[in-house]
Chains A and B, each alone.
Chain A
Amino acid sequence: MINDNLPVRRRTRMAQQWRAFTDSDLLWLFWRSKSTVVAFTCCLVILLCSVTSHWIAPHNVFDTTTFDLMDSELPPSWMSGGDARFWLGTDVQGRDIFSLMLYGLNISLIIGGISVLLSVMLGVALGVLSGYFGGLVDTLIMRFADAMLSIPTIMFTLLVSGVARVVIPKELMGHFAPAILTGAIALTGWMQYARTVRGLTMLEKGREYVMASRISGATHLHIMLRHIVPNVLRPVLVMATLHLSVAILTEATLSFLGVGMPPDQPSLGTLINEGNQYLFSGQWWIVAFPAALLVILSLSFNMLGDWLLDALNPKLR
């Protein structure tokens, strides 16, 4: 009887939530800010391109047999000497820039996205623990966070990949590169979440419903997971939007420095690094298009994050 009822109840609850969302002023605020609508559209298009990159890319850039050195360094198709097959031109190996960008975008977004997710998980877990238990646990975690905050992101990630190169043999580096990058970037990003979540947890801990739950015999774990975490997630989501563009730029910077993604699995940063070497010989398109895409990507995520930060904070309105 109850089991039959559940899906229906859930559906009506979802409908209610949806109506609450459409009725709220969030949507109205969104439509009012034209630049946010543009940024949101850019984000959507970029995400779509990234997800479908394997189908919409005109060339397979991972298959070395399809490269032809005769096609190398062709300018974009609308310029003289351009080839209709290669819309945005080709690089020195004769790979299609447009396809490279789509795959690179995918790699950049996956590494950025997973590292933000890991940072959020680590930060929320440590923040809740720190705020809930207080005392020595709190001191240890927060001191550690302070110490991590004082190390610049680029330096930390560079040193981690430096140490990784000492430990892992060169032949295997290609396999491990994405994992090392993701891990290193994730380790530099959790502190902000931990600090915010810690403060919110300390507030939430003193609420009456938590006390009631405690009296009725709920375990600490149950209270943390079911009561506290859902209540501290909203600001975390806003921070994550802004963090995503930071993570993507960090990955791009490392790849640009030649210690990130290897040239056979290029991210946007790797492409810019390769293009940069041909800047002086006049092949501007190898560097310009990936660079433009990277800027649009981070600009639109930043604008969306900024808007969310303002919109969800009633004090700032």
Chain B
Amino acid sequence: MVFFVRKLLQACMLLAGVALLSFILFQYLGDPVASMLPESATEVERAALRTSLGLNDPVIVQFGHYITRLLHGNFGISYYNQVSVFQLIMERLPATLELVFVSVVLAMAIGFPLGVWSAISRNKLLKEGVQILSLIGVSLPWFLTGIILIIVFSIWLGWFPSSGRGETVKIGFWSTGLLTASGWHSIVLPALSLGLSMVTIIMRLIRTEMLEVMKSDYVKFARARGIENYRIWFRHALKNALLPVVTVIGLQIGGLIAFAIVIETVFQWPGMGLLLIQSINFVDVPVLSGYLLFTALIFIVINTLVDLLYYLIDPRMRAQ
């Protein structure tokens, strides 16, 4: 219980820190008065607006107001699009989360079997293949993987579309592309190029962890008891190799949201990343600080969830 409370407190403190950062960005770096009034506004009008916006209040009071507004879902108005930032992010969020989700599933579906296979097989060719693959994995920038996939599967073969999300269906505020054929058709290439970055990581991790566990005494003991190989591999070795893999996948999801910025630009996928690039190019401060807050929130939620998952997977943690 103490564990839960401490994790939650830590998460709240982190969020408050990020909120302070985005407050500084929002309030001091962009000039809201200049962007809200026409160029011809007089000094008196400016001063009046400053007072009505609360810019003359003490900083603590301003920060308090800022937090209150955030809690009401008011993130300000985008300079460029002239719509509420909250609405803008809510439109884009499903696209990014779906992309990340599909690529994680894809990466696990490819990475798990490959990792287990390379751990239990004694094939030398396979071992070298894994090494070459991971070397290419770190040397090839993600945007190039995307471009190569577009060249091969979109331009040469014409199998998959190279941009956009296809048709989407709205469920409440959530617009999903996972219920239409064209949505699935469009997500293949972006999800593949995003997921490939994770395949090598999962594969190598499972391999090294499993080899580590296989050397342990209790696996030897299990062999001595005459337990079949596949039972040792899956019940003993794989289960114990899972803990670090879960951590890394959890932490990598944060990284995937970051890489999604790149992949979304390559495939013109209308998610949060594309929104961020747009807001940087148009110096759209409210969107920038809104993005900062939202991704921080997602990161913190994921990290807390990973910590809690530990708890479920490893009984040793519960005993403490």
State the A residues within 8 Å of B (CB): 150, 152-155, 158-159, 161-163, 165-167, 245, 249, 252-253, 256-259, 272, 276, 279-280, 284, 287, 291, 294-295, 298-299, 302-303, 306
Contact = CB atoms under 8 A, between A and B. Distances in A.
Contacts of A159: 288, 292
Contacts of A291: 144, 147
A165 B139 contact: no
Give the interface residue-count category, chain B: 35 or more
24 contacts: A150-B251, A154-B262, A155-B258, A155-B261, A158-B261, A158-B280, A162-B280, A162-B288, A245-B138, A253-B141, A253-B143, A253-B262, A256-B262, A258-B281, A272-B143, A279-B151, A294-B141, A294-B144, A295-B140, A298-B139, A302-B135, A302-B138, A303-B135, A306-B135
Nearest to A303: B135
B54 interface: no
B261 A276 contact: no
B254 interface: yes
Given A166-B285, A257-B265, A295 B276 contact: no
Interface string B263-286: 001100000000011011101010
Contacts of B142: 253
Nearest to B256: A152
Contacts of A299: 135-136, 139
Interface of A is mostly: helix
> Could you tell me the dominant secondary structure of chain B's interface residues?
helix
B143 to A, nearest CB: 5
B160 interface: no
Contacts of B303: 150
Interface in B136-166: 136, 138-144, 147, 150-151, 155, 162
B280 A165 contact: yes
B37 to A, nearest CB: 19
B296 to A, nearest CB: 9
B125 interface: no
A257 B260 CA distance: 12
A144 to B, nearest CB: 12
B29 to A, nearest CB: 5
B283 to A, nearest CB: 5
Contacts of B299: 150
A163 B25 contact: yes
A152 B295 CA distance: 11
A100 B141 CA distance: 20
Contacts of B292: 159
B152 to A, nearest CB: 12
Contacts of B143: 253, 256-257, 272
Interface in B56-78: none
Contacts of B276: 158, 162
Nearest to B282: A165
Contacts of B251: 150
Contacts of A152: 254-255, 257-259
A253 to B, nearest CB: 6
A161 B139 contact: no
A290 B33 CA distance: 44
A122 to B, nearest CB: 21
Q: Which 5 A-B pairs have the closest CB atoms?
A: A152-B258, A162-B280, A299-B139, A155-B258, A298-B139
B29 A166 contact: yes
Nearest to B276: A158
Contacts of B136: 299
B243 to A, nearest CB: 19
Nearest to B142: A253
A219 B65 CA distance: 51
A132 B155 CA distance: 58
A302 B139 contact: yes
Nearest to B144: A291
Contact of B147 (A166, A249, A287, A298): A287
A142 B257 CA distance: 25
Contacts of B254: 150, 152
